Structure formats: structure tokens, C-alpha cells
Chains A and B, each alone.
Chain A
Amino acid sequence: MLQDVHPRPIVAQGAIEAACGSVAPLFPLRGFVAVNPLQGFTGLPFAAACAALQDCTGARLLPDGAEFQRLPAALRDDALLRLGVPPGTSVPPAPPAAAALSFAATAESCLPGTLRLMRAMLGGFLASWFDAGQAAFGPPSGARLYTAWRAALPHDVSAEAAGFSGFRRHAAALPSRPETAIAQALAALEVPAALHDALMRRALGELGGWAGFAAARRWRAAQRDASDDTLLDLLAMRLSWDAALFATARAAPARGLWRQRLAAWRPALPDGAGEAALFWREFEAQRALLAALAAPAEAAARRAAPEARVQAIFCMDVRSERFRHALEHAMPALHSFGAAGFFGLPVALTAKAPEAPPRGGAGAPDDTPPEHRCPVLLAPSLPAHLPARPRGFAARCAEAWTRIRTGTLSALVFVEAAGLIYTGRLARGRAGGRPAPADTACLDGVAADEAAALLEAFLRAIGLTRDFAPLLLLVGHGSATVNNPEEAGLQCGACGGHAGDANAALAAHLLNDPAVRAALARRGIEIPGATKAVAALHDTGADTLHWLGALPEDATLLQLLRDVEAAAGLAGKAVRAARAPLLGTTPARLPARGVDWAETRPEWGLAGNAALIIGPRALTRGRDLAGRCFLHDYDAAADPDGALLAGIFAGPATVALSINLQYFASAMDPARCGSGDKLLHNVTGRLLALQGNDPVPGSGLARQSLFRGHDAAHAALRLSLLVAASPAQIDAALARVPEMARLVRGRWCHVFALDPAGPVSRRVCETWLQELP
């Protein structure tokens, strides 16, 4: 092609890679899991990462530094000491950030509507391209994204209609390779090489959720050792669009502005005062938490039976903490544990929808992909399926009915003939569609030894390797909710945004399997023959406990289960009483929220999360931590070299940190790091939620998930990791997990050592500082 013959301007491949790497993944609604929105900048200290994100998206993640400057000097010094800054140092507020480094944003200031046009033209195409089964058909599949966009562009007259005549003529000269297109566009926009990196990051930042969605594809591809160029194509599209706009006559006034902006642009600086103000808020919360842990336990906990009759393993989720506290209060013979709620089983669950209706639209995948019922950090390795339900004639009729309802012409007739039927559904508030319980999942063949290896790692991590009680409960959690596209955010993060039912049921099944038990015994974990594992699901909306799968037939065990049921009833009542005021309702009305189709806030999810406590339950039992702590069991005595702790840092702690930072960012800047207002949500392509008609999705949590009106339910605080181990042990474990060590060093979280044999100390700049009581 002619345009490819031109001498190729140089763009470092590294700069493109760096720009693509700066985007945090955004997973589709169906398997939405929390992602650290600063994921692309974890190599930087926290405040620097916030500044880098501000350059990409304009997000402001740190509080106003003036808040800190107003504190008395003594308090300021107290905080600075713990920040590793010499007391008395002045922390200057950061200068205001430079204007956005993007041509479309520059043009917006003199030609209002330019950014909207960009979002409509690029976002609209991307919504069709990524569509997974909403439209009957979209752009041709097969070609790569950039090629398909380039082919469709000459037929889109939107830019001309908006007054940018000549846009398509410039767009028609696009080169066939995206790398060349990027280089050409950067040259056309007259960007100096020093600004390439920043400009490309901003370009992707302005594509919001689509860049994140492409980054998620990249992430999944990397897990399979494959590569995915979608993000590169996105970058080429965006820059080419800007370059085509730049060349149009109407954009002439913006060109002068742009040259000034290029000359004056400087990256945002880390906001030291803002971080200090944030730290002060965290410091106050940490003191309250340490005081709560130091206070004597409630009387009931002190009376707790030393010998457990029931051992219940819960998810580490903050919502479990409330329920465990109340459950143990009601049943002293129950000892609870906290662990990653997928019970160590990285399951890929296929819903065997038998004989799916014949499909094959351009964007629609032919099969529903398996659900990853494990943390997003892991690639699932255990295939499982739900048993096929026989499909009766009634189901076929219902299918035919749906086809008539959605057919192009038949829809007209359908509405006239059958629209009146919807009176009943409107009156009852019935939204339709219920998830099938997944607790009947079956593994597609797994060796006993393989299963035992997974379960061994799981049990050792929480220090449950001996003294098994007669009843071992595996309690996953899920939230009943209807008409809520963001429901995955309320489910179990460790199960990839799904309820924990399948994992709990499978873990219980495996733990009861004699072959697996024998293999576990060979690995040094002897589960007595009398011990039975039973799976359960904790409904976090209603705070009820439900058994999963078949129950044991032994009378003693049944009696124990009955006792647990009674205790769970009491516990549910207590937890509902505590939760209801936070939601502005009464305990009795709480369970109904999950089945109300108008409810935007069935529960608060993980709002309020502030700390992860890694240690034995004895440390927290009998203490009300108000549902703000992740709890992971850990026995330092069984971990002399820190290997188990390193595993917890690499897995559960990393997940908790992602969740924490997701809530942090969405609470700090709901407009740029949130998915907006649920009442405006417009789900596109069965994948992501848009705001109104704007075809560029946001990422993060909806406003209603964090705020009730103007009242915030989540205090934006970085996670405090409280580890019941000696500083030396923690240092040893951090040395094994460089990513976590880097995050701790960069103040992405706080680390405390609750040394069983010494004082409480805080990690400050590679050393430990004793925390005064």
C-alpha cells in the first residue's frame, strides 16, 4: 500500500508495550472480580501510582492535603514518623496536574462535543465488536479488531455530520498495520518522542472500560501463554481517530492549542500531603482496630469449649467475620476458620446446557465459556460440570416462544397478542431468570492424589492439620439478588465472582472420599474416620445458612447439624440486627431485599473493608470487628521458614488487596473509577454496564454499592495486614514474594506484626517500629 511505503516514523515497541501494560483489566459482568485500578503501576510507590493514573484518566485518588496541614503539629509528627518521614518535615501539596494529553480533549475546549463524538464512534464500534449475543449481528468476525474497524470506518458518516468534513478522506488513508498506524498518527499529531508514552497511556485511559476489557483479554491470554493484540489495536484506532480529526479543517483552532499543550505538558507529581492526609485517616482506624484486638474477649468466647465439636471453614470475606462472630457466640463448641473461599479448588465449571439452541452470530460465541470458580490470579485446572437436566417438550415450547418474542417481524405480532400477559409480571415485580444452584457440580475426573495435594495445601495454609472435630463444615457464600447486572460484585471474589456453592460442595465431596483421605494421610494429614465434611452456603444478603448436597445419616452428626442450624438462626438474627440500620431498613425486611427487582443495594457487599488479619482465630474470637476485616487463619508455629505465610501473601492477601483498592478508588473518585449510577446502567453486549447511551463503559463499583444518597458506606483506607508472626518471619515470607514486598515498600498497604512473643510493631521502610498501645 502506498502509505506503507513512506519512511516509517520510529515508535519504540517498548513504549507501546508500556502503554498497554498500564491498563488495569476489567472483567465482564458475569465474572466480575475486583481488580486494583492501579494494576498497571504497581512498580511505583502508591502516591506516584495515583499521580500516574491521574495522567491517564484524570482520576484523583488521594484526599485533599489541606486536611493534614490542619492537624496539630504533634499529631502530624506522630503520623510522619510512621510514614518513615523525619518529624517536622513539611509535606507540600502537589501542584495542579497538567491538562489532559489528548488531542480530542484539547479540541473539546474549543469544539464542544468532540469527546462525545470520539466516544460514540470508537465506543459504538467496540460495543458491536465485543458484543456477546445482544445484537443479532455485528461487524464481521475473523479479522482482527483494527482491520475490521478500518474496513467499517468509510461507512460511518458521524464525523462529517458533526461538521468535521474530510474526516473519512483522512481515515481512508490508514495503513493496514496497527503499529504503522500508531507511528503515523504520532507523527501527524506532532508528538515529540519524549511524550509518546504519556500520550498513548492517556489515549487508552480515555477509552475507559473498553481498554480494561481488552487488557482482561490480554491477561487471560498471558495465563495461557498466548498473546492478545486487542489492546494494541485499540490504541491504533484511538490515535488514528485523533490524527484524522487533527487533519480536518474544522479542527484548525484546536491545532494551535494542541501545540501549546504539547510544549507545556508535565507529568503529575506524587501528592505527599494527600498521602499524609490519607495516612492520618488510616492511622486512626488502625489504632481502633488494635485496641479492639487488645481488649479482653467477650465472656462467651472465654467460656468457649476447648474441644471443638464442629469446625467450620468460612471464606475470609469481611461478611463472614460478622456471621462467624455471632455463630460462635451462639455455639461455643463451634470453632471457625477463615480461608480463601474457593477451598483450594481452582474449578472451571461448565453449565452443560443440553443442546443449546443453534446460534452463530458474528460476535456470539458458540458455547458458554466455563465459569472460572477460582481467584482471577489462577488459571482453573479442575474441570467440572453440572449434570445435564433432561430437556422436556415444555422447554422447547418456551424456547420457541422466546424466538417469536425476539424475532424481527414476529416481535410486532408477539407484543400485540401477548403483551397483556406482562400485567401479572409487572404487578408481582417479577424480573425473571434465576441462577441454578451449582452445588450438584461433578468433577470431570480428578486423581485422588491431585485432589489431596490441593486440599493439603489448603488445610496447611490455615493450620488445620490435626485435632479434627466430628463435623467439618465448608461454608461458601453467595448473595441472593435479582435484576442486578452487577451481582457478581456481591458474590465470592475467591470464586471468581460466583457463589461459593460449587467449590464448597466439591471440597466436601473430596474430603469425604476414602481415596482422597488415604492420599491425605500419606501426606501427613490424618482425618479420623468419624469426621464428616458437610458443605453449606452462607447467604450474605439474608444472613442464613443452607446445607448443600447430601447430609450424613449418622444420628450424632445430624444432631450436631441441627445444633448448628439453631445457632445459625440466632446468629442470623444478630447479624441482621447489626446490618439493617446501615442499609436504612429493619432486620425483618432485610431478606426481602434480595428478591426485590427495584433494589439497587441488596447488601453492602465488602464495603467497609479495612484490614486483613492473618493469624489464629484465638486472636479475634469473641471480638466484634464490625465486618471490616478479612480473616485468614495461620499458625506461625507450623511455619518456621515463612513458606506458608508467603503463600498467603501471594494468594489471599493479594486478592484482598485488589478488593480493597477497588473499593478505595471507587469511593475516592466515583465518577472516574466507578461504574456510575445503577439506574442509568445500560448493559452492552451482555458484557459491561454503560451509563445511559455513552458507549464507553466505566470500571469499578456503582455509586449505589458505596453510597446511600450522600452517605458513604465505605471509608477509603488502604488495607492493613495484621500478621500473627514475628517480624523476622514476616520478612522471610516477604522475601519469597517480591511482588508483595514491592507493594509493602511502596506503601500500597500497611503491615503489622502481632508477634505472639513480643510487642505489636509496624513495618516502616524495611524496618519495624514498635506500635505504642
Chain B
Amino acid sequence: MTGFSPPHGSFAALLAGEPQARASRTPVLALADLALLASAGACLATLLRHGQPLLFPGGLVQLDALSASMALLVSFLSRVILRFSATALDGDARRGWVLRRLAAATACGLVMALAGRLSVLAAGWIGMSLAVQPLMDYAGTAAARLAAVKKFAFARLADLCLLAALASLLAQCGTDEFAALPASPLPLTGLLLAGAALLKSAQFPAHLWLPDSVEAPTPVSAFLHAGVVNGGGFLAIRCAALLGPGALHLMQVIGGITVLLGAASVLVEPRLKTQLAWSTVAQMGFMMVECGFGLFAAAWLHLLAHALYKAHAFLAAGSVLRSPPAAVPARGWPRVLAVAVAGGFALVLSHSARLAPGLALSWGLLALGLVPLLAVRGAAGVAAGIAAACLAAGLFAGLHASAVALGGAFPAPPADAFSRGSAMALLAAAAALSLWPLAAAHAAHPAVLALTTRLRTGFGLPAFTDRLAIALLPPARLAERL
């Protein structure tokens, strides 16, 4: 039988093969390669300096673990997304336009990441948003235009908030250089910074534009969800020292509402990309909650990891039919029991005065998330245990590494009564949410039906914002079929 391909081997082998680089060489891709190399170099330099910040004259650029890793993330994602777009838009007259816009947004993202001053950061942050803005209208449909209007409105609100924060900072300190900022919080500036971060990261009610962002082409969605929305988290981490208790409490509450809203909406959303958008809402909310509880190193890890995860999820959205369908967890008492145990454990932890409320919340969420999945018997239970153990180990390793890398640059996590109360409230709500799938058996119950219908229809808010956006748009731009 020599000389033959093995029976039913070759076809499968071909499918398993690696995608080969295609000849979609453009100057933009070469630039992206350069940016990636430079960012990798910056990361290496930071490593060699053991994370000691490197300041450039005038404070335009500040190179430290946070900025170097953010720059590496931006340039890596941009490289992947640009290559994807170059192939996917093959033959399309708008290919060059899309690539140039994405490249410009990347450049602004790099400016934002490497900025040594808040004004430079603001320039990059506003520029990135403006560079991507026209891409929202790629489809040219009225639906895309409405989505673009919503994004524009919320992005400009965030910009205004950031510029106000900048003005307040300059008024109080006379400088906006990060290296020269006071180590103590500035209440008003902090509140404005938190507001800008929340608006940018699609936190309630600024989440309203995000589900509509899937009106943009796949690679642009990937860029928005992995890049642009992270601006808020990055700002909060960069300016952590300026955030006073008021700002942190705001982030706890708004972030908490957003997590719950996003996670509950994922459960009822049947459209894949829209579901991914709701998942971004939840993940961004979680990142803000982490910031609000002073867990900035964890938020940083979350930002990097989520960007990579979500970029992949969007770009691979076409594979949905080959992935397993949604698994509904095992019903019945084991699950209720597991949630009760985990919830009780979490509440006890959050009561314990020895633990910061933020840590209690993270451990509680970890328990609430993983323990119900362990409530299966036999080999499946062992497998679940191993998977959960691997995950927990990965989490602790990641958190430790990020804390070491970022050093002790952050203020101590808040441990006041408000934070303790919001951590408890959030844990209780999370426990209720994890029981939520049990309601699937009672979908016809009026209360369940009312809640699921309202979640699915966004409590009427999408229709309301549509109406506002239509009023804003000149009728000629809506002429196409809606």
C-alpha cells in the first residue's frame, strides 16, 4: 500500500493544516509588523529594568510595565486584525480605507498606551475613537448609521468627562505628568476620571451602543471589543492613585450593575455576535468592579486577557456551527445546594474583617462560578474538578505575576463600610444570577416570562435610543430601508 495516502487521511490532514500567509502585503501590514517589533522591544527593555519606569523628556512617553504591555497588546491585536481584514476584504474597493483607518486607530492606541501625561493620553484616546468612527458606517445601511450615531454620542460624552478631568487636574496640580502627580487622591478629578472610564468602557447606561456595534464588519467589531472599550480600564489603572473613595464607590456600583445586566442578557441572547457584545458588557463591568475595589493589578490582567479572548471570539465567529451548543447546567438540588454552600462561604468571607472586601468578592465569585459546575457525579465530576483546579491555579499564578510586574504602585484597596456593603450586595446578586438557569424549567411563569422578555428587549431602551438617534439623523441619511 505504499505510495497511497492513507484511507480517509488526506482530507482531514488538509483541514488540520496551518493557514499559510497570503500575499496580502500592504504597507499598512509592514507598519504593523514594525509596531509589533517595537512594542516587543519596549517590553523587553522594561523587563531588563525590572519594571523601573523610563521617562522621556517632557513626559510625553512613560515606559513601564503597564504601558509596555498595553502597547504590545495593541500592536499584536492590530497586526492580527489587519491581516484578517486584508484577506477578508479582498477585492473590496474599501479595503484600503478600512486598513488605513484601523492603522490610524492603532497608532492612536499606542500613543494612549505610552503616554506620560494625561493630555497625551487623552489625545490618543480621542483619536482612536475618531479613527474607528467612520468604520461603523461600513454597511451603509440605516441600521449601521444609527449604531454609529449611538457610539459617537457616548464616546463624546466620555471625551468631555476626560477633558474636564484634565482641566481639573491642571487646575489643582499644575501638571498632568503621571510621574509628578501626588500620591493622594483628588476627589473631583477622580470622580471625573471614573466617569470617563465608565462611559468609555460601556458601563450602564453607556452600554447601550455596544450590542449595536455588531453592525460593523467582523474585524472592526473585534477591534472595538478588544481595543477601544479597554480605554476606560486603562485610564482607571493609570490614574489609580487619583481615585478617591467616591470614585471607587461609583465604579463599584455602576460596574456591579453592568456585570449583572451583561451576564443576564447573555443568557437570553440568541444572536452570536450580539451575545459576544453582551459578554463584553459583563466583562468590562467586572473589570470596573475590580478597579472599584482597588484590585488594579487584577483589572490589568483582566484587560489583557479579555482583549485577547474577545478578539479571538469575534474573528472566529464564523465557526459557531462547529462549536458545541450552549450547555444548560444540571438541574435540581445538587446545583441549589452547591450555590447555597458557595454563597454562604462567600458571605462569610465578606463578613470577615480580616479580608479586604475586594478580595472577598473575587474569591466569592470564584466559588460561585466554579462550585456549581463541580456538582456532577462520577468521571465528569473528576474532570470538572481538574479543569476547575487548573483554572484556579492559572488565576492565582496570573494574579501573582501581574501584582509583581506592576509593583506596589497602587493605593491600598478600600475597606470602608460602603465597599463592604456593595461587595455583599454584589455577591448576593451573583448567587441569585447563578441560580437563574434553574428558571429555564419555569419559562412560562409570568414573573420569569416578564423578566426574560424585558431582558431580551433591553427594557425598551434600544427602541428608545433608536428614536433619539433617528431624531438626530437628517432624514436623507435614513432614506435607505431601515
A residues touching B (Cβ–Cβ < 8 Å)?
29-30, 108, 112-117, 119-121, 124-125, 127-128, 130-143, 151-152, 155-163, 357-364, 393, 396-397, 399-404, 406-420, 422-423, 425-437, 439-440, 478, 480, 482-485, 501, 537, 539, 542, 544, 546-551, 558, 561-562, 565, 584-586, 589, 591-601, 677-686, 690-695, 707-711
Contact A362 B312, beta carbon cutoff 8 Å: no
Task: Tell which of B273, B301, B321, B470 touches A29, judged by Cβ atoms closer than 8 Å.
Answer: B321
Interface residue B354 (Cβ < 8 Å from any Cβ of A): no
Task: Tell which of B443, B464, B482 touches A139, judged by Cβ atoms closer than 8 Å.
Answer: B443
* Count of chain A to chain B residue pairs whose CB atoms are closer than 8 Å in the complex: 465
Given that A112-B475, A429-B19, A692-B215 are known contacts, is A423 also in contact with B308, CB under 8 Å in the complex?
Answer: yes
Interface contacts beyond A156-B460, A426-B308, A690-B271: sample of 20 additional A-B pairs, CB < 8 Å, sorted by A: A134-B320, A137-B439, A138-B270, A140-B449, A156-B457, A358-B327, A359-B327, A361-B440, A408-B267, A409-B430, A415-B283, A418-B391, A419-B308, A483-B315, A546-B10, A547-B7, A547-B8, A558-B4, A562-B3, A597-B316
Interface residue B205 (Cβ < 8 Å from any Cβ of A): no
Contact B383 A426, beta carbon cutoff 8 Å: no
Contact B311 A426, beta carbon cutoff 8 Å: yes
Task: Tell which of A124, A594, A595, A600 touches B88, judged by Cβ atoms closer than 8 Å.
Answer: A600
Given that A138-B270, A591-B14 are known contacts, is A709 also in contact with B316, CB under 8 Å in the complex?
Answer: no
Task: Tell which of B211, B268, B275, B464 touches A138, judged by Cβ atoms closer than 8 Å.
Answer: B268
Task: Tell which of B14, B142, B311, B315 touches A595, judged by Cβ atoms closer than 8 Å.
Answer: B14
Interface residue B40 (Cβ < 8 Å from any Cβ of A): no
Contact B301 A416, beta carbon cutoff 8 Å: yes
Contact A432 B322, beta carbon cutoff 8 Å: yes
Give CA–CA (A690, B338) in the complex, Å. Answer: 38
B residues touching A (Cβ–Cβ < 8 Å)?
1, 3-5, 7-12, 14-20, 22-23, 76-77, 80, 83-93, 138-139, 141-144, 146-147, 211-212, 214-219, 259, 263-264, 266-275, 279, 282-283, 286, 298, 301-302, 304-309, 311-312, 315-331, 365-366, 368-370, 372-373, 379-380, 382-384, 386-388, 391-392, 394-395, 398, 430, 433-434, 436-437, 439-440, 443-444, 449-450, 452-454, 456-457, 459-464, 466-467, 470, 475, 478, 481-482
For residue B91, which residues in chain A have a CB less than 8 angstroms away from its CB? 584, 707-709, 711
For residue B86, which residues in chain A have a CB less than 8 angstroms away from its CB? 598
Q: Which residue of B lies closest to A29 (CB)?
A: B321
Given that A158-B462, A409-B434, A419-B308 are known contacts, is A537 also in contact with B268, CB under 8 Å in the complex?
Answer: no
Contact B443 A141, beta carbon cutoff 8 Å: yes
Contact A422 B312, beta carbon cutoff 8 Å: yes
Contact A434 B328, beta carbon cutoff 8 Å: no
For residue A113, which residues in chain B have a CB less than 8 angstroms away from its CB? 466-467, 470, 478, 482
Contact B14 A403, beta carbon cutoff 8 Å: no
CB distance from A592 to the nearest CB of B (A): 4
Contact A695 B318, beta carbon cutoff 8 Å: no
Contact A425 B326, beta carbon cutoff 8 Å: no
CB distance from B128 to the nearest CB of A (A): 20
Task: Tell which of A120, A404, A537, A565 touches B373, judged by Cβ atoms closer than 8 Å.
Answer: A404
For residue B92, which residues in chain A have a CB less than 8 angstroms away from its CB? 709
Q: Which residue of B lies closest to A486 (CB)?
A: B318
CB distance from B435 to the nearest CB of A (A): 10
Contact B460 A694, beta carbon cutoff 8 Å: no
Contact A561 B461, beta carbon cutoff 8 Å: no
Contact B274 A682, beta carbon cutoff 8 Å: yes
For residue A551, which residues in chain B have a CB less than 8 angstroms away from its CB? 1, 4, 7
Give CA–CA (A360, B328) in the complex, Å. Answer: 7
Task: Tell which of A138, A416, A432 touches B323, judged by Cβ atoms closer than 8 Å.
Answer: A432
Contact A693 B215, beta carbon cutoff 8 Å: yes
Contact B443 A433, beta carbon cutoff 8 Å: no
Contact A423 B19, beta carbon cutoff 8 Å: no
Contact B305 A419, beta carbon cutoff 8 Å: yes
Contact B8 A403, beta carbon cutoff 8 Å: no
For residue A684, which residues in chain B have a CB less than 8 angstroms away from its CB? 270-272
Give CA–CA (A127, B457) in the complex, Å. Answer: 12
Contact B11 A546, beta carbon cutoff 8 Å: yes
Q: Which residue of B lies closest to A409 (CB)?
A: B369
Give CA–CA (A429, B222) in the complex, Å. Answer: 14
Given that A408-B263, A682-B274, A694-B143 are known contacts, is A589 also in contact with B20, CB under 8 Å in the complex?
Answer: yes
Contact A482 B319, beta carbon cutoff 8 Å: yes
Contact A412 B270, beta carbon cutoff 8 Å: no
Contact B143 A155, beta carbon cutoff 8 Å: no
Q: Which residue of B lies closest to A119 (CB)?
A: B482
CB distance from A190 to the nearest CB of B (A): 25
Contact B309 A161, beta carbon cutoff 8 Å: no
Minimum-distance CB pairs A-B, first 3:
A419-B305, A433-B322, A133-B325
Contact B142 A116, beta carbon cutoff 8 Å: yes
